[in-house]
Amino acid sequence: MGAFDHDIPDLELVLLRRGVGQRDARRERCGRCDRTPLVGERIYVYEGGATLCDLCRAGEREAPARSRLIHGPEFGPTIKVGVRRVA
């Protein structure tokens, strides 16, 4: 059992890093400052595909093609399963 005691913290650390890496890869980031926009902040997308946050947009001369609001994790597809029983 002594060999397993050392491996468990290493396994936990590997799993933690993998989970953080996967979550971080899905986040939107500003193309200039690499900051993750806050919930409720607008992100601006330009013709060339550049995505800028509110703070970096102030330095741009051209108008963005579109903008969108950053939503929290609770905003998204949710499924409510109801139990239906035949009477």
User: Tell me, what's the pLDDT at 1?
Assistant: 46
What value does the mean pLDDT of the chain take? 79
Q: What is the pLDDT of residue 7?
A: 62
Q: Are 32 and 51 in contact (CB under 8 A)?
A: no
Give pLDDT tens digits for 48-75.
Answer: 888 999 899 988 888 999 998 988 767 6
Q: In what order do the strands lie in the sheet with 51-53?
A: 51-53, 42-45, 66-69
The pLDDT value recorded for residue 60 is 84
Q: Where are the domains of the chain?
A: 2-69
